[in-house]
Amino acid sequence: MTGPRIIDGKAVAAEVRAEMAKKVAAIKSKHGQVPGLAVVLVGEDPASKVYVRNKGAQTVEVGMNSIEHKLSAETSQDELLALVDTLNKDPQVNGILVQLPLPKHIDAELVLNTIDPIKDVDGFHPVNVGRLWIGERALVPCTPTGSVILAKSVAPNLSGMDAVVVGRSNIVGKPMAALLLRENCTVTIAHSRTRDIENVVKKADLVVAAVGIPEFVRGDWIKPGAIVIDVGINRIEGPDGKGRLVGDVNFAEASKVAGAITPVPGGVGPMTIACLLKNTVEAFEMQTGLSADA
C-alpha cells in the first residue's frame, strides 16, 4: 500500500517566489520600476522578528524594494497611525503590512483599517473582505491563498468538492471559505460549537483545519483519500520536554487515511510569505496599471 502524498509547502512556495522574481524582472525591464513592500514591526516578539526578517529577505530576493520600520514596544497608537498614514501617501510603497500581534495598548483593528485598501497586502481591510465575497478584484489574505494553491497542487480542479473549513477566524477561516466557494466547492464552516463535528468533517473531500487547537482534527474524522490542509502552527511540549511544532490535525493519525496532507512545519507556513510577495506585485499592478505583460 502506498502512503499519502505529503504536500511540500517549501517547494511550492519556492515556485511561487520564482514566478514573482520573473514578473518583477519583466516589470523592471518594461517600465523601469519595481514594487515596494513596507513591513512594520512594533515590539520585540521573537517569532514576529523572525517572520519580519524573512519577509524583508524574500522581498529583496525576488527583486522588490523592502522598507522595514521597527518600532519600540512603547510606540503609541497615534504614532503608529501616523506612520501608516505616511506609508499610505508614499508612492514608492505599494504594499503595507503591520505585523501581528500588536502590543495590547494598540487597537489592531483600528490600525489595520487605516491602511489604504489598495496597499493592504494582508487583505484584512473590510473593503478587501467585501470585494472577495462579491467576486471583485481584491487583495486576498495570504494564508488562505497559499492553502488553495497547495490543494490545487494535488487536485488542480476543486470544482464540486465537499470542502469543510474547521475554524471561523476573519484572517483564515472566513476568507478560506470565500476562496473555496470561488473554486466551486460546496463549503461548510465548522467550529468549536459545531454539533457532531467528526461526522461533518468526515463528509469532506477537502479539509482545511484552522482552529488554533493542537491536533484537534483526528484521523478517524477524515474520509479515506481526502485532501487535508493544516493551517495550524502550535508550539507544544513533547514527551522529551522539548518544544515542537504541531498543526491543528493529528498528522500521525490523519496521514494513514488522507490521500494528500500538508505537514507542520513545511506545509502552509512557507506559503504565507510567498503569497505576500504575490499580493505586493498585484497591489503594484492595481495602483500603477503597469504589469509584466503590458
Ligand X SMILES: Nc1nc2c(c(=O)[nH]1)N[C@@H](CN(C=O)c1ccc(C(=O)N[C@@H](CCC(=O)O)C(=O)O)cc1)CN2
For position 175 contacting ligand X by CB under 6 A, the verdict is no
Q: H or E stretch including 245?
A: strand 243-246
For position 264 contacting Mg ion by CB under 5 A, the verdict is yes
Q: Which is nearer to Mg ion, 24 or 166 (CB)?
A: 166
Q: Catalytic residue at 119?
A: no
Annotated binding-site residue? 168:
yes
Side-chain-side CA neighbours of residue 186 (13 Å): 8
What residues numbered 107-146 form the site for ligand X, per CB under 6 A?
122, 142-143
Q: Catalytic residue at 33?
A: no
The residue written with cell numbers 518544544 in the block is 243
For position 233 contacting ligand X by CB under 6 A, the verdict is yes
For position 269 contacting Mg ion by CB under 5 A, the verdict is yes
Rg (the chain; Cα; Å): 19
CA distances to 3, 6, 72, 152, 258 from 140, in Å:
33, 26, 29, 17, 28
**Residues pairing with 32 in the sheet:** none
**Binding-residue total with ligand X (CB under 6 A):** 17
Give the C-alpha separation, 7 to 163, whole Å: 18
Give the C-alpha separation, 289 to 76, whole Å: 36
Q: Which is nearer to ligand X, 207 or 233 (CB)?
A: 233
Among the listed residues 55, 119, 174, 223, the single catalytic one is 55
Task: Kindly tell me which residue out of 12, 16, 51, 168 binds ligand X, with binding defined by CB under 6 A.
Answer: 51
Residue ranges for the known binding site for NADP(+) are 167-169, 233
* Residues lying near Mg ion in the complex (CB under 5 A): 264-265, 267-269
Residue ranges for the known binding site are 167-169, 233
- List, by residue number, the catalytic residues: 55, 99, 122
